[in-house]
Structure formats: structure tokens, C-alpha cells
Amino acid sequence: MSGLYTGGCACGAIRYEISGKPAVMVDCQCRQCQRDSGTGHQSHLSFIGAQVTIEGDASNWQTVGDGGTVKRRAFCPTCGSSVYLTFPDMPDVFIVTPASLDEPSRYEPQLVSWTAAGYTWDHLDPSLPKFEKMPPT
């Protein structure tokens, strides 16, 4: 097994391969991530400047974050899996969901963002640093 991060959607129509290590791994409880995942939070492995290869055509929906950042959330038009997230204004950044990985156990959350929008029933690792909104960069 190489150091590559590989994965794709549930039906296999979309596949990706990422060379590089995640810059940060985050559980995000913002409302957009809740809607995207269908539960209390979405989780992200964020890669910066990694080499990314994608096979298959994803559909997209776009949201605008608190600070005006446009986010393009890519999902499979066949199975509906949420697979990756890109930022038109930050082409270096590529984010994938942990469950889309071939080895989801490689996801190791480092912090929780947007606890201000979180619910008590969405109980996350109490040992993780928590931020009311986005962590300061």
C-alpha cells in the first residue's frame, strides 16, 4: 500500500487518488455540512497542494460560507454519495469525506468546527479542540 489516499462514491462511478497527506482533518457541525451528510456533522480530510486524479463525472451543488467562500460540493449523480469538496477561489484545496476513502480508518479528526450550529445528540470526541465557528487560520 502506497501513501496515496484513494476512494470514491458508493457505486464506484467516481474514483479519486490523492498523493500527499491531509493538512487537517475536521468534524464540522455547520448547517451546510449537516444537510450534506444528512446527520449532525460532515467530516473532512483537507489536502492542500496535493496531486489529485479524479475519474468519473460528479454533480455539484454550491454553497457560500460565512466569510463569502464559495464551496462546490461534489456528489455522484447515480448513488448520491457526497465525495469531495472544492473551492473555485482556492484551487489548491481538495477535501474528501472519510467514508468515501477505501480505508476510512485513516481519518483521524483533529478538531471540531462550528459547534455553534451543533446539536447535543451529535456527540463528538470530547477530547478534540472545539471551535464555535471556523478555527482561526
Return the C-alpha cell found at 101.
Answer: 476513502
Among 13, 24, 99, 134, indicate the residue that binds Zn ion (CB under 5 A).
13
Tell whether residue 85 is a contact of Zn ion (CB under 5 A). no
Q: Are 60 and 41 in contact (CB under 8 A)?
A: no
Among 4, 24, 54, 79, indicate the residue that binds Zn ion (CB under 5 A).
79
Among 5, 18, 22, 30, indicate the residue that binds Zn ion (CB under 5 A).
30
Supply the minimum distance, in Å, between the C-beta of residue 76 and Zn ion: 3
Tell whether residue 78 is a contact of Zn ion (CB under 5 A). yes
Supply the minimum distance, in Å, between the C-beta of residue 51 and Zn ion: 23
Q: How many CB atoms lie within 10 A of CB 4?
A: 15
Q: Is 121 exposed, middle or buried (0-12, 13-18, 19+ CB in 10 A)?
A: exposed
Supply the minimum distance, in Å, between the C-beta of residue 114 and Zn ion: 6
Give the C-alpha separation, 1 to 30, whole Å. 34
H-type alpha helices, the chain: 31-37
The count of residues interacting with Zn ion (CB under 5 A) is 9
For Zn ion, the binding residues (CB under 5 A) are 9, 11, 13, 28, 30, 33, 76, 78-79
